Chains A and B, each alone.
Chain A
């Protein structure tokens, strides 16, 4: 290793140490615990594949998996499409553009628990502002969070609201990276605005779109805070997601072994989804 390499390694060393002690080590331990029966206090007993067998016949796992996938389908398209449209809009020379950009990012900056509390007020069936306006225009109030048909969708709206600003900033950075020469050339060639968007903007934003989809996949599969604050997994199990189920299993029922098995399952699901996504979005240089 040359001198420059040694210096680089020295800079990396503190992070690698922290990563190994606080991330990699516990993760490997988590994988190991997934094959054990353990309630934290007693001695862990090797359970072989029992936890995985239980996973495949656990109806609550399938309920939480179904809810998580539905949630992903609810948030992914709007978080890509609306963020892109917002970024394109805010990339134009508009009055108050900077103020609107700043306001758009505020929901992302708020702590998810605070977001959950705010939306709980807005969604209140009887005295919430949303139903107040619905009643004003003669529409029957909606049981946003307390009806099992709407609850997951209502949480999805909040997630889209929270993350759209962040995705918009990523798209905005991508848009500002596209050379103006390309747009000028297309104008000279007679392309209209829609054609320019479809043939220049969209293809050149492909890496950003790929990154946004990956981040949304991870965030959606790991959804926890907002559900915990807004519905606690209810009504019934209508908003019970994989991580919420993991939390209950590991930290309420103290079944660390099965909780870790659920964690492994979530990681496997994420790896599969990210793999599919990266194949679909195979980037060429």
Chain B
């Protein structure tokens, strides 16, 4: 009997461990250049730099780090990149163990949570002596939380529209849509069934569509689009200090309703689309809403493509925007030399951000942005900079705007675009779910 009890305890212990190790092992860690450590006074100062890039942009960032390491001998940067979620879990664990990285990349909406945890060092930002005039206002604004600057701007990105030039020409279209009406009209012309009919023609067979007019991600990016469309109607319901959300039900319902209609009423968007960019590069959809990070893929696809700003559907222009920033984690064990080296590296990255533009991301630095203008397709995204809207750096942003279930924004997005629920009910549920999180502080 005693043995049975002991076995049960051991089995329970093993099960808990299995669960945690199964979860924690997710993520694809990739190490950049390995190098020497500062073992004597002549050795370079070693600093750790962590980021969450796993796509083609990872190679661009690795190239930049290697370039920095090759250009000088005083500092050696060890670069580590993995998916964002395991990256931050690793960061907090290392922080607890007293060995955080010297430089950590993140997004503006994460700054609130991490600064509330007390893990970000704003003194190093002061020491970096950044000039506001060197950056776009959008990028600069994304580095602050409660009026204190916690980050150095790295890049910005926003939703825009990509279109297939060959399919446009075939449909007799000459320019990308700029308004909601134009978008619907063009998307209908570009949506074709197996008999060559369009959705606005009688006899159109919605079960045998061979080419769709428009595609977009059916995940949290639906919410990002709805967020832009709410802003297009005037007013941003979210801010970094909210403890109760007041959502304008009418505006929210109109925003989700517009996106819903594209799928269910106008039938110009594939239901439950999984990979819009792949559908676009294989000419199964003629236009997609996506971010500038897709440009390296499009550049190598052989497709003739163009880009345009996110259309103005309501009263004013607005597009969802986000950014990547560089922070300095608090490190009590870190020496003054290491901290100076971290600042020097970040300033070097800032000064070489034109190279980072090759990853598709738009440099936050004005000089880098000017260089990006010369690269194909960037102009349309840059034109959206003045009306791009960021999600706030609220301390509970990770939960409020989570991209994986359970997430209020994912539920709202998928109820709209997959389940075709009443947009007013979606708006009410979104407010209820977000307020439940805000009340649990």
**Residues of A near any B CB (own CB < 8 A):** 22-24, 26-28, 30-31, 39-42, 60, 63, 120, 124-127, 135, 140-141, 143, 145-148, 218, 222, 224-225, 228, 232-237, 239-240, 243-248, 250-254, 260, 263-264, 266-267, 270-271
> B86-101 toward A: CB 8 Å interface, digit per residue (1/0)?
1011001101100000
* Distance between Cα atoms of A271 and B123 in the complex (Å): 51
Contacting pair B24 A234 (CB below 8 A): no
B96 and A248: CB pair below 8 A?
A: no
In the assembled complex, the CB of B207 is this many whole angstroms from the nearest CB of chain A, namely 5
Give the residues in chain A near B212, CB-CB below 8 Å. Answer: 126
Minimum CB–CB distance for A2 against chain B, Å:
21
- Interface residues in B19-61 by Cβ distance below 8 A to A read 19-20, 22-24, 26
**A18 nearest CB across to chain B (Å):** 12
- 9 A–B contact pairs at CB < 8 A? A24-B10, A39-B92, A143-B418, A148-B418, A232-B403, A236-B411, A250-B20, A254-B89, A267-B16
Q: Is the CB of A236 within 8 A of B415?
A: yes
Q: A42-B117, A146-B271, A232-B405 are in contact. List 19 more A-B contacts (CB 8 A).
A: A27-B13, A27-B16, A27-B17, A42-B118, A124-B274, A126-B279, A127-B284, A135-B208, A146-B218, A146-B414, A148-B414, A228-B26, A236-B419, A237-B406, A240-B406, A248-B404, A251-B86, A254-B89, A267-B12
Q: With A30-B16, A124-B274, A236-B410 known to touch, is A222 a contact of B118 (CB < 8 Å)?
A: no
Task: Please state if B19 and A126 are interface contacts (CB–CB under 8 Å).
Answer: no
Residues of chain B lying within 8 A (CB to CB) of residue A247: 23, 26
Nearest opposing residue in chain A for B113, CB measure: A254
Residues of B contacting A145 in the complex (Cβ-Cβ under 8 angstroms): 272, 274
Q: What 0/1 pattern do residues 398 to 421 of B give for CB contact below 8 A with A?
A: 110011111000110011001100
Contact B207 A135 (CB under 8 A): yes
Report A-chain residues with C-beta under 8 Å of the C-beta of B208: 135
Please name all residues of chain B whose beta carbon is closer than 8 Å to the beta carbon of A250 when the two chains form the complex.
20, 23
On chain B, the number of residues with a Cβ less than 8 Å from chain A's Cβ atoms is: 54
CB contact between B17 and one of A30, A146, A147, A240 (< 8 Å): that residue: A30
Interfacial chain A residues near B16, Cβ < 8 Å: 26-27, 30-31, 260, 263-264, 267
Most buried by B among A141, A147, A232, A235: A235
In this assembly, does B106 line the interface, its C-beta being within 8 Å of a C-beta of chain A?
A: no
- Top 8 closest pairs, chain A to chain B, by CB: A233-B405, A146-B272, A27-B13, A235-B414, A126-B270, A125-B272, A40-B92, A247-B23
Option from A124, A252, A264 in Cβ contact (under 8 Å) with B85: A252
Shortest Cβ gap from B193 to chain A (Å): 12
**B209 CB within 8 Å of chain A:** yes
CB distance from B266 to the nearest CB of A (A): 16
Binding site for A on B (CB under 8 A): 8, 10-20, 22-24, 26, 85-86, 88-89, 92-93, 95-96, 117-119, 207-209, 212, 218-219, 270-275, 279, 284, 398-399, 402-406, 410-411, 414-415, 418-419
Q: Is the CB of A146 within 8 A of B418?
A: yes
Give the chain A neighbours of B399 by CB distance below 8 A.
252-253
A140 near B207 with CB under 8 A, answer yes
Q: Verify B117–A41 contact, CB threshold 8 A.
A: yes
> Cβ of A243 and Cβ of B19 under 8 Å apart?
yes
A147 and B418 CA atoms in complex are apart in Å by: 6
B52 CB, nearest partner CB in chain A, Å: 13
Most buried by A among B8, B23, B270, B410: B23
Which of chain A's residues have a CB closer than 8 A to the CB of B118? 41-42
The answer to whether residues A267 and B15 also contact, given A126-B271, A234-B410, A244-B405 and a CB cut-off of 8 A, is yes
Contact indicator A246/B23 (Cβ below 8 Å): yes
Minimum CB–CB distance from B24 to chain A (whole Å) comes to 7
> Complex: how many Å from CA A58 to CA B96?
29
